[in-house]
Amino acid sequence: MEQRDAAQDGYYSGVTYPMEFHRQYTPVWLNLAAVINGHRPCPLDRPFRWCDIGCGQGFTALGVAALHPNAEVFGFDFYPSHIENARRFAADAGLANTSFADVSFETLANAPATTWPKMDFITLHGVWSWVSATQRKHILTFIARHLAPGGMVYNGYNALAGWAALLPVQKLLRHVRATHPGNTSAIIAAGNALLHGLIRNGAAFFTENPMAALRLEFLGRQDPDYFAHELLHEHWTPFSPDEVAADFATAQCGYIGSATLLENFDVFSVPPPMVAMLAATQDPAQKEILRDFGAARMFRRDIFRRGTEKPLPGDALAALDAITLTDLGLPDDGSYNIKTWGSEGLALRADIYGPIRQGLRAGPLALGELRELFPDVAMLREIAAVLIATSAAFPTPFPQPSALQLERARGFNQAVARHNLAGGHAHLRAAPRLGTILPANIAEQAAAAT
């Protein structure tokens, strides 16, 4: 995989990317995050365009295509094997509304303007922090030329506050990569042996920077390819959010919120004493920086929009009221605790969430109905974010899916099942009413294959 060096521009290619689905940058989820933050969603009941830059095996793009047959779905990646796999799966699932291309970011940026259409959604996950400044400029050029007015961009990248302690470690591992023969596993083994030798022999760096040891412990529990993805790229860079926002401003895109829903609410994402401090902070960019410090945040899922003017209050409220939630059937132990920035979590009010969970078990529940009980709109947004972020419920954008949606979802599910029977590990199923992909057990997968 060490080919096409000009396109890779220092990107470490000895990493295999699995078939993964990321719900945080699907159209339904991005619309949800936009509405929770008081912005307009993109209408999904008409044709729209969604694209993934650096799509890997293309599994999120394939899921979007299956769930939204009225959409044109694009996936771009410079690894030919990734694109070949995505195309093969699309053909097997009957997803004719997909277009996958093995192109570099430079090619995307410099192609004639008519090569690619205007996009309603452009997504980047695991790209921004792992490529060079030159490649980031190419990406911004593509966004500036091809994001439609009102379109949204998702950018998932490493946050400086959570990764700063590992900057010297990453430079050491890059040196190991440059000097150690062998494949990815051998390089990681050599690097780990060196690092743990430093810790074992009392290297002051680790005693003076305990966060570095904690981050290494976290990485040690991950798949080796994840370790390589994080620490072996030549241009690996964690960012402060104001830096990223300034870059996206050059493409006429402004920050509107986080796709990690609970990070839009400080009570769930920073230590309690910081909540009042953040409420008193007027500068939006500084507030985001402080939030990263408060949570020692490692990863950000920023949403940008071309046009950040919010709708009229009545229109914003109507968009919120229109969200209908469906219970996902998780066990309810009655504790109502939610994981937050700390290890112990935060106890939710049982007098609020208990009746809501009970109501959801009786059937789908519109936020407009809940507003009769909770007229405070800020509280209603928080309730929606909590229920969805904890997988207690999910939006139901298509309560009555069309015949084509059902057909495409069935084709997707059958293709996933055949993939798994051949030795794959994508145990997921399309849920057309919800507009997302959900986990499925092996028995369900076997049934779907027939």
pTM of the predicted model, to two decimals? Answer: 0.92
| 440: Cβ contacts below 8 Å, ≥ 6 apart | 413, 427, 428, 429, 448
Q: What integer pLDDT is reported at residue 11 of this predicted model?
A: 59
CA 209/CA 166 separation, integer angstroms: 9
* Residue carrying the six token digits 């997504």: 123
Q: Which tokens belong to 82?
A: 């990734």
Which pLDDT belongs to residue 305? Answer: 98
pLDDT at 336: 74
**What was the pLDDT predicted at 14?**
56
d(C-alpha 380, C-alpha 385), whole Å: 9
Helix and strand numbers, DSSP H then E, in the chain: 22, 14
pLDDT in tens, 335-373: 777 877 665 678 888 889 989 999 999 999 999 999 988
Torsion 196-292-41-100 (CA) sign: negative
pLDDT at 220: 78
Q: Which residues of the chain have pLDDT under 50?
A: 1-6, 446, 450
Measured CA to CA, the distance from residue 43 to residue 208 in angstroms comes to 51
Check: CB of residue 41 under 8 Å from CB of residue 74.
Answer: no
Strands 337-338 and 324-327: unpaired
Token pair in block for residue 271 = 């230590």
Quick check: 295 and 270 in contact, CB under 8 A?
Answer: yes
CA atoms of 201 and 195, how far apart (whole Å)? 10
The token pair that represents 114 in the structure block: 């008519």
